[in-house]
Amino acid sequence: MPGRLIALASLKGGCGKSTLAFNLAAGLARREKAGLVDADPQGAVLHWMDWSADRSDDEALPEVCAIGDDPLDTLSKMARRFNRVIVDCPPSLDMDLTGRILEKVDVVLIPILPSPLDLWAGASTVEAVRQARERNPRLRAWLVLNQVEPASALSRAMSQALASLDIPTLGCMVRRRAAFRTAAVEGVSVYQLGARGREAAREMDQVLEEVLRT
């Protein structure tokens, strides 16, 4: 089945890997058996899940595990157990681990903020994907615009710069929304915020649909 392992990765820190990993995995868990692998040494997602587990609502949550000492083995085991598995890659500096993960996964989503500085970082992540494809030629990759301000449409320069990268950009984008931060603070996914999280949850569903349909 295509799209079994889906990584969130970028050489740029703080672009939304963990936020999107957790919320996309929560969206998947509502549809099917979904797992989430935390490859961040700070274990952001694992902390998040600890909080979530204490809550008493019946929201289906993904099962989470740490990447551990043998990343490829962990990913293989998770792929056998779940229909789909999301992998939250480490912050920028741990390129070695991110590179190894990219050689194993089916899809990589690269969150990118709509600013010129982030585009530069995006370009170097594109290079990491190119290298991973030497050993994993079927790796599919998309850039995902994150934290887009509602008022500012994407500038023409930004659209042109994105188009010049070798990796396509998802048609749907994720806006900067208080719900993503609120959910993190409350230790839940945006799906569990009710009306406060509705728009954010809809965006997660759109990302999932676009990625899973192709």
Ligand X SMILES: Nc1ncnc2c1ncn2[C@@H]1O[C@H](COP(=O)(O)OP(=O)(O)OP(=O)(O)O)[C@@H](O)[C@H]1O
65 forms beta bridges with 37
Q: Which of 117, 106, 55 is nearest to 84 (CA)?
A: 106
**Site membership for Mg ion, residue 18 (CB under 5 A):** yes
Whichever of 18 and 74 has its CB closer to ligand X, that residue is: 18
Binding window for Mg ion (CB under 5 A); candidates: 13-21, 96-104, 110-118, 124-132 = 13-21
Question: Which CB, 180 or 191, lies closer to ligand X?
Answer: 180
- Of 194-213, binders to ligand X (CB under 6 A) are none
Q: Which positions from 75 through 104 interact with ligand X, judged by CB under 6 A?
A: 91
Helix (H) or strand (E) holding 99: helix 95-102
H/E element holding 140? strand 140-145
- Residue (185 or 195) nearer to ligand X, CB: 185
CA distances from 86 to 18, 31, 35, 46, 166 (A): 10, 14, 6, 13, 23
Is residue 17 near ligand X by the rule CB under 6 A?
yes
Residues that bind ligand X (CB under 6 A): 13-19, 40, 91, 146-147, 174, 176-177, 180-181, 184
